[in-house]
Amino acid sequence: MSRTELPKQLMPYIEGKTLLKLAFEHLEGLVEPQRRIVCAGRQGGSMGLSKSRFMAGWQCLKRLYLEVRQPELAGERDQQSLAVLEQGYEVGRWAQKAFPGGVLIEAGPEEMEKALKQTAQAVGDKQHPAIFEATFTHDNILARVDILERLPGNKWRLIEVKSSTSLKDYYLYDIAIQRFILEGLGMKVVPCLMHLNREYVYDGKRYELEKLFIIRDVTAETEALEQEVKDLIREEWKVLARTEPPDIGPGSHCTNPFTCEFYDVCNKRLPDDHVANLPGISPKKLEELASQGIESIGKIPQSFPLSERQRRA
Ligand code: SF4
């Protein structure tokens, strides 16, 4: 694998430093804030399921319903959310560079038929060692696979790319649904997660892609979720057949692992100085503050553990 130049978007965070750790902390800060709006895969007027909708339903079945049936109620993406998305795309593009010779399925989200056709052609063409954004559908569920690497023995490595530096539980569901679709189509797959390597030491000049990313085999973990995934798919189809949203009240699921784009629909508006507005505050800390009856930022005692950023807010 060749050494490659530093990604432009990372330059401002890395220049003058030898440890990428700092940059990754910045990336983690961008991709994991608790108070962000994430609009997972709006698919025009389609009523079908997709990987991103499956994940919306995994977080909350009401969120899935609203996303499909009443998407006009969703909050607007703010600048931070757009920056998060752009950062994710950038990491995805760099991950693709680790698979030279791979082919990108270029058909966009509104051209799924075309994407399916291009994918079928690429799968059949053995000169492509990898396919990026490979698109498949099974059981009326659509998924785009970040990287599909051709392996010997008619097998494929199914790789989900994440711009984080560790494995998060919900990633496994994201990969498990893709595995369900590809195996449902009769493909033999090795499901994997590819994420940034927190320990990678940057030499100040060029990235080494083989060290910048870690690829983990999550075959056993996703196998353990097989029945749960099937049950959830059934549940999600039932919800989508309803004429009104399921009766689900707000709770920690509204912000964990992502802040739901329908947050304002289900939650009363909080005052500006509410503790939930602290940047990057974790659900655990919010619970601790709530248990102490503290709602206002100004009432948080000095002894309460907050980050520098939160303390400045
Ligand atoms: S705001 Fe909460 S309850 Fe409402 S749809 Fe989103 S996750 Fe579900």
- CATH no. for 4-240: 3.90.320
Ligand 1 atom with the smallest distance to the CA of 264 is 1
Enumerate the domain spans of the chain: 4-240, 271-313
What angle do helix axes 169-184 and 51-59 make, rounded to 10 degrees? Answer: 140
Q: Does ligand 1 lie within 6 Å of residue 14's CB atom?
A: no
Rounded Cα gap, residues 148 and 151, in angstroms: 9
Nearest by Cα to 236 from 55, 42, 43, 73: 55
- What separation in Å is there between the alpha carbon of 261 and the centre of ligand 1? 8
Residue type at position 66: L
Give me the count of residues in the chain.
313
Q: Which of 35, 39, 60, 70 to mutate to test the pocket of ligand 1 (most atoms within 8 A of CB)?
A: 60
Q: Which residue CA neighbors atom 3 of ligand 1 most closely?
A: 250
- What separation in Å is there between the alpha carbon of 274 and the centre of ligand 1? 19
- What separation in Å is there between the alpha carbon of 111 and the centre of ligand 1? 29
Q: Which of 34, 58, 63 to mutate to test the pocket of ligand 1 (most atoms within 8 A of CB)?
A: 63
Q: Determine the pLDDT at residue 45.
A: 52
Measured from the Cβ of residue 293, the count of other Cβ atoms closer than 10 Å reads 7
Measured from the Cβ of residue 228, the count of other Cβ atoms closer than 10 Å reads 12
Q: Does ligand 1 lie within 6 Å of residue 40's CB atom?
A: no
Q: Which residue CA neighbors atom 7 of ligand 1 most closely?
A: 254
Q: Determine the pLDDT at residue 312.
A: 81
* pTM tops 0.85, yes or no: no
Q: Which residue CA neighbors atom 5 of ligand 1 most closely?
A: 63
Nearest by Cα to 145 from 167, 169, 123: 123
Q: Determine the pLDDT at residue 4.
A: 41
Cα 94–25–55 angle (5° rounding)?
A: 65
Q: Does ligand 1 lie within 6 Å of residue 250's CB atom?
A: yes
Positive or negative torsion for Cα 93, 98, 100, 102: negative
Ligand 1 atom with the smallest distance to the CA of 63 is 5
Return the SS3 of 50: strand
Q: Determine the pLDDT at residue 204.
A: 78
Find out whether the peptide bond into 246 is cis, omega within 30 degrees of 0.
Answer: no
Q: Which residues contact 164 (CB under 8 A, 6 or more apart)?
A: 27, 28, 31, 32, 195, 196
* Spans of the chain below 50 pLDDT: 1-44
Backbone angles phi, psi at 49, to 5 degrees: -95, 155
